[in-house]
Amino acid sequence: MGMASLSTPLSVRLSEEDTAFLAGLEMEGAVTASDKIRGLIRQARQRAASPDSFPVALALSHEHLAAAVRSVRLIEEEIGAHSDVTAGLMTTAEEFLALALAAPRAGDATLEDLVRYEVRLVACASRMTEQLLRWAVTPNAPAYDPQVVATRISAISDLMKLITATPVAR
């Protein structure tokens, strides 16, 4: 870390439960309890401020979901299994969260901004839907349960038939 501004010593009393939580908390670059508390404050400040761009929002969403992604990967390593379905959906969740965090803000947004934003949301949802449909028609989806996608998609196959039978306004 570079030259830090003057810091104020702060003494805090924590319950045993909070102390145990802090000890078990994994935070990138934070080893000591003081590092972790500073990291938690930084995260809270970031959440309180609206991200000013999609890249900043994506970094926040990545950080927010990192523990869950890491946990799944560690379990996969431990049991010798992998799911492209789970990894793909978690990546999509990260993108959706970033899009939500980067939503146009009241006061300076126009209808055109909302239209562009909606296009991005629909594009993300469409990519996810296309991927789910590809996995559904694959004899064995790359998932822990190879039938998980096909089973779920078959529940909406009637809706898909209606969509293909209905002329779409162009």
What b-and-e string marks burial along 101-111, b requiring 16 or more CB atoms within 10 Å of the CB?
bbeeeeeeeee
Answer yes or no: is pLDDT of 28 > 90.
no
Greater confidence, 115 or 45?
115
Q: How far is 11 from 13, CA to CA, in rounded Å?
A: 7
User: Comparing 81 with 138, which gets the higher pLDDT?
Assistant: 81
Residue 65 has pLDDT above 60, yes or no: yes
> CA nearest 117: which of 97, 100, 92?
100
Predicted pLDDT of residue 111: 96
Q: Which residue has the higher pLDDT, 26 or 81?
A: 81
Q: 10 Å Cβ neighbour count for 36?
A: 18
Higher pLDDT, 59 or 124: 124
> What per-residue confidence (pLDDT) applies to 120?
96
For the cut 70, the answer to whether the pLDDT of residue 3 exceeds it is: no
What pairs with residue 27 in β-bridges?
30
48 pLDDT band, cuts 50/70/90, is low
Across the range 14-19, mean pLDDT stands at: 89
The larger pLDDT score, comparing residue 132 to residue 47, is at 132
**Mean pLDDT in residue range 62-91:** 95
Q: What are phi and psi of 99, to 5 degrees?
A: -60, -40
Q: How many CA atoms are closer than 13 Å to the CA of 28, on its beta-carbon side?
A: 9
**What pLDDT is recorded for position 170?**
46
CA proximity to 96, closest of 58, 64, 69, 131: 58
CA angle 106, 52, 126 (to 5 degrees): 80
Neighbour count for residue 120 (Cβ, 10 Å):
13
